Amino acid sequence: MATYVQVGKVWLNVAQIRVIRVVPMDDGEVLCQVEFGPDHILEFRGDDAKAVRGYLQYHMTTHPPAGLPG
Q: Flag whether 56 is in a domain.
A: yes
Rounded CA gap, 36 and 53, in Å? Answer: 16
Q: pLDDT (tens digit, 9 = 90+) per residue, 53-68?
A: 888 888 778 877 766 5
In the predicted structure, residue 31 carries a pLDDT above the cut 90: yes
The answer to whether position 68 is within a domain reads no
> Does residue 70 lie within any of the structural domains?
no
Q: What is the mean pLDDT of the chain?
A: 85
Range of the domain at 17: 4-62
User: Residue 34, SS3?
Assistant: strand
Best CA proximity match to 36, nearest among 23, 63, 17: 17
